[in-house]
Amino acid sequence: MVGASELWQQMRYLMPEGLLLCAGLVILLFDLVVKKGRSLYPLAMLATAGAAALALLPLESSEPLFFGMIQSDAFARYFKVFSALAGFLVVLMSMDYKPLPARFVGEYLGILVLALAAIMLLAESTNLLMIFLSLEFLSLSSYILVGFLRNDKKSKEASLKYFLFGAMCTAVMLYGFALLYGASGSLDLPAIKAAFANRQNTPLTCLAMLFILAGFGFKVAMVPFHAWVPDAYEGAPTPITAFLSVGSKAGGFAVLLRVFFTVFPGLDYHPYWLAVVGVLAVFTMTVGNVIACSQDNLKRLLGYSSIAQAGYVLLGFVVMDGRFTQPAVMIYLLAYLFMNLGAFVVVIVIANTTGQEEIDDLAGLSERSPLLAWSMFIFLLSLAGVPPLGGWIGKYYIFATLVKGYLEGLSGGNLMLWFAVALAVNSVIAAYYYFRIVKAMFFEHARERMARPVVGGPLLTALYVSLILTFAVGLWPQPFLNWVSRMALPLL
């Protein structure tokens, strides 16, 4: 049995999420006392920045912690840094987001900071119980954040839809957990792997995995569990939309990676599994891209685009090659963090100026604010995967993974080539709707009485950080790639 002092020792691995949890509670408490929401922004920024700094400390343990609930390895640390960084940028973005009611800023920040801690916990969970708990922690905080605009019908409605869909997916996932528990006799991921390693699998496990995919697929916005995305994205406060598209998606991918890499190799029919995931990925990106083409609302468009991006990342899973899949997924997510948050910064500025978020509101932006227009252009270009920007490095890795899988004659090798072709075709479709935005910004002229957008300090900082890092990942990817490959899961 593990003693109390040893548990206390293990606490040091949980410093980043500990800090965030404390900060979240302190913010909520302060909010009760001071009633001045805006003064809490520095505290939230300090907390997220501090969590990022703590997560950067090389504190790792390959041993299971807290009775096997948690494994605070390099992989988890990567997602801790990721989540804290995303949180920092989202807090910056929230500062100048006008529709946010000032009275409730404290609650908003408190819940946001707690949600970040949930992502961190999700990334390091190695037990089905812990996975369920942290996933629900993240989901519940997200439901509240989506419905945060108290006087906005859309926000409330988005929240309800998100909630209903999420609760359903969670229930299905839990049933999957139950089946997996039944098939293996344990909730512990390594134990489940060991149980599967030396015997034939039953259809029961197959069903279990399908059900579990529902829960994770919901978080990453995989088709057919994507239905909530457009509505929740449109209705949510824009910084929260950005958070959902980057933060909770990354959390979903983290847990998906961990479950894939620990449980799947033991399954004797895992090639079929990968084919299923691949086909779902192709559906995900195709559905996202095709529907995005006809969207006029920027947030909805970026929502469908984020479905499509989830499809790209999922394709990275298909090969299951340790040296490629993980770096591919992780570097893609890193680039995606900066380019997508950057795009949402511009959306916030536009919404602050015109009160809406339609593509038309961007008309003639290049004349009104060249900085914003060109930044948005860079982010969209990166999302479209055009070199030499961050998104391109991510997409390159996905392509490389698929081609490598094809050439090495892995099971279903020919399928990989078709996946690569599907990705290629989808890249072109995606370019079409990203360039609809570009067209509005550069080729069209501003309507009368369209004000010049004003970008305040916090938004400007977020914009520059995203811009510089989007370029950095693309032009000088070596340090990022080194970092990512060092942080990959140890191959079991």
Least separation in angstroms between CB 432 and other proteins: 6
Candidate list 46, 400, 410, 460; residue touching other proteins; CB under 8 A: 400
Using the minimum distance from each CB to other proteins, give the nearer residue, 239 or 474: 474
Using the minimum distance from each CB to other proteins, give the nearer residue, 147 or 252: 147
Report the site for other proteins in 339-378 (rule: CB under 8 A). 366, 370
Q: Is 403 in the site for other proteins (CB under 8 A)?
A: yes
Least separation in angstroms between CB 46 and other proteins: 28
CA distances from 133 to 127, 128, 138, 173, 423 (A): 10, 8, 9, 12, 34
DSSP string, 150-216: TT-HHHHHHHHHHHHHHHHHHHHHHHHHHHHHHHHS-SBHHHHHHHHHTSPPPHHHHHHHHHHHHHH
Using the minimum distance from each CB to other proteins, give the nearer residue, 95 or 422: 422
Q: Which tokens is 357 given?
A: 């978020």
Using the minimum distance from each CB to other proteins, give the nearer residue, 54 or 122: 122
Instruction: Measure the N-to-C terminal CA separation of the chain; round to a whole number of Å.
Output: 25
Candidate list 435, 446, 460, 464; residue touching other proteins; CB under 8 A: 435
Using the minimum distance from each CB to other proteins, give the nearer residue, 76 or 128: 128
Candidate list 2, 7, 57, 424; residue touching other proteins; CB under 8 A: 424
Least separation in angstroms between CB 161 and other proteins: 7
Least separation in angstroms between CB 184 and other proteins: 9
Contacts (Cβ under 8 Å, ≥6 apart) of 154:
234, 235
The stretch among 87-95, 332-340, 352-360, 397-405 that binds other proteins (CB under 8 A) is 397-405
Least separation in angstroms between CB 166 and other proteins: 9
CA distances from 459 to 44, 92, 115, 127, 430 (A): 16, 6, 22, 39, 27
Contact between 147 and 158 under an 8 Å Cβ cutoff? The reply is yes
To the nearest 10°, report the CA torsion of 334, 336, 338, 342. -170
Candidate list 293, 428, 451, 454; residue touching other proteins; CB under 8 A: 428
Alpha-carbon span 96 to 350, nearest angstrom:
12
Report the site for other proteins in 123-162 (rule: CB under 8 A). 128-129, 132-133, 136, 140, 143-144, 147, 150, 153-154, 156-161
Question: What is the size of the binding site for other proteins (CB under 8 A)?
Answer: 75
Using the minimum distance from each CB to other proteins, give the nearer residue, 278 or 458: 278
Contact between 319 and 405 under an 8 Å Cβ cutoff? The reply is yes
Least separation in angstroms between CB 36 and other proteins: 24
Contact between 265 and 194 under an 8 Å Cβ cutoff? The reply is no
Report the site for other proteins in 159-218 (rule: CB under 8 A). 159-161, 163-164, 167-168, 170-172, 174-175, 177-179, 181-182, 185-188
Report the site for other proteins in 223-252 (rule: CB under 8 A). 227-228, 230-231, 234-235
H or E stretch covering 109 = helix 105-124
**Largest interatomic CA distance in the chain:** 73
Alpha-carbon span 374 to 387, nearest angstrom:
16
Using the minimum distance from each CB to other proteins, give the nearer residue, 72 or 366: 366
Using the minimum distance from each CB to other proteins, give the nearer residue, 42 or 185: 185
Least separation in angstroms between CB 42 and other proteins: 28
Using the minimum distance from each CB to other proteins, give the nearer residue, 272 or 443: 443
Least separation in angstroms between CB 292 and other proteins: 13
Alpha-carbon span 207 to 409, nearest angstrom:
27
Using the minimum distance from each CB to other proteins, give the nearer residue, 60 or 157: 157
What residues form DSSP beta bridges with 127? 188
Least separation in angstroms between CB 92 and other proteins: 26
CA distances from 157 to 146, 225, 408 (A): 9, 18, 49
Contact between 278 and 287 under an 8 Å Cβ cutoff? The reply is no
Least separation in angstroms between CB 39 and other proteins: 26
Alpha-carbon span 325 to 337, nearest angstrom:
18
Using the minimum distance from each CB to other proteins, give the nearer residue, 42 or 479: 479
Candidate list 477, 487, 488, 489; residue touching other proteins; CB under 8 A: 477
Least separation in angstroms between CB 268 and other proteins: 21
CA 141 to chain centre: 15
Using the minimum distance from each CB to other proteins, give the nearer residue, 272 or 432: 432
Alpha-carbon span 90 to 237, nearest angstrom:
11
The stretch among 51-59, 260-268, 355-363, 434-442 that binds other proteins (CB under 8 A) is 434-442
Least separation in angstroms between CB 73 and other proteins: 21
Helix 74-95 vs helix 457-475: angle between axes, to the nearest 10 degrees?
140
* Residue listed under structure tokens 């070596």: 478
